[in-house]
């Protein structure tokens, strides 16, 4: 957007999405996305649950499954258009779709590197770009990106994943600056290491090491992350921030 066409005074009062807000959740059949969609629906939001590789086995009340490959511009636009067609607005997008490749850079196939960036960064950009237009028209919206502690501290054997998440953090803060004048917020949530299908390939020993890196000696829980995201969506004045949700400590540098 580059800020073009977004001039104008800041709104006197922010529009705070309430229980009837419309939220698009990507990766909604994954370990985190499924829990986030359910938490938001229980809170009264109307949730469009984006799925790609497999449809949800069942959709609870307030959840509408939507075919969504975030690497496809047409599907991103269609999902946003569906929200507007069904509900007249789109209050938030929560980006839970993600990809990881676990290998040392020297052994990593370039295709694996590209896959991480295509989903984690480019996919987020594509859907954000589609969502921004209706949010600008309604003068409100919230883009919630799922980042990673690896994006601020690095991760041995996960360079592609770490680099894509570091770039995502920069995207979040740039969008917060570009869109703030239209009352659109952008934030990144670092959920911590969760026991989900994405982390299963790491194995029990590596997950135990992650737990030891936490001052509390344990991994995070998807339900706690979902509750935090629901809270974040209920706020009005937070934008451009990175929220680390586990107990790993990173120095200020």
Q: Which CA distances in Å does 209 have to 80, 153, 194, 219?
A: 40, 15, 13, 10
Q: Pick the residue with more confidence: 180 or 220?
A: 180
Residue 70 lies in a domain: yes
The total number of structural domains that make up the chain = 1
Residue 143, beta-bridge partner list: 93, 186
Residue 171 lies in a domain: yes
In the predicted model, is pLDDT for residue 204 greater than 80?
no
Strands of the sheet containing 141-146, edge to edge, are 63-67, 46-51, 22-26, 92-95, 141-146, 184-190, 242-244
Residue 203 lies in a domain: no
Domain of residue 71, CATH code: 3.40.50.720
Residue 1 lies in a domain: no
pLDDT tens profile 75-122: 999 999 999 999 999 999 999 999 877 778 878 788 888 988 999 999
Residue 213 lies in a domain: no
Catalytic annotation, residues? 161
Residue 19: Cβ within 10 Å count: 10
Q: What does pTM read for this prediction?
A: 0.86
pLDDT tens profile 130-180: 999 999 999 999 999 999 988 888 777 678 899 999 999 999 999 999 999
Residue 78: which domain range?
22-195+222-242
Residue 226 lies in a domain: yes
Residue 129 lies in a domain: yes
Structure-block tokens of residue 35 = 């829990």
Residue 13 lies in a domain: no
Closest CA to 222 of 197, 249, 188: 197
d(CA 169, CA 145): 8
């Amino acid at each position: 957007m580059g800020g073009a066409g977004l001039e104008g005074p800041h709104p006197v009062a922010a529009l705070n999405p309430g229980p009837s807000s419309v939220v698009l959740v990507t990766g909604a059949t994954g370990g985190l996305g499924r829990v986030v969609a359910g938490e938001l629906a229980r809170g009264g939001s109307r949730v469009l649950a984006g799925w790609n590789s497999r449809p949800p086995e069942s959709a609870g009340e307030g959840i509408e499954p939507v075919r969504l490959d975030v690497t496809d511009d047409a599907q991103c636009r269609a999902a946003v258009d569906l929200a507007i067609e069904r509900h007249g607005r789109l209050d938030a997008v929560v980006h839970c779709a993600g990809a990881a490749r676990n290998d040392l850079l020297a052994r990593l196939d370039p295709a694996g590197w590209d896959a991480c960036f295509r989903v984690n960064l480019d996919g987020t950009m594509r859907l954000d770009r589609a969502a921004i237009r209706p949010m600008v028209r309604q003068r409100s919206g919230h883009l919630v990106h799922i980042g990673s502690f690896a994006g601020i501290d690095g991760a041995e054997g996960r360079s592609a994943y770490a680099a894509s998440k570091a770039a995502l953090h920069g995207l979040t803060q740039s969008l917060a600056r570009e869109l703030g004048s239209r009352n659109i917020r952008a934030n990144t949530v670092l959920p911590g290491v969760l026991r989900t299908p994405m982390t299963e390939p790491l194995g029990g020993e590596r997950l135990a090491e992650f737990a030891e890196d936490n001052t509390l000696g344990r991994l995070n829980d998807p339900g706690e992350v979902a509750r935090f995201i629901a809270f974040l969506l209920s706020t009005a004045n937070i934008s451009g921030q990175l929220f680390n949700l586990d107990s790993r400590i990173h120095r200020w540098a």
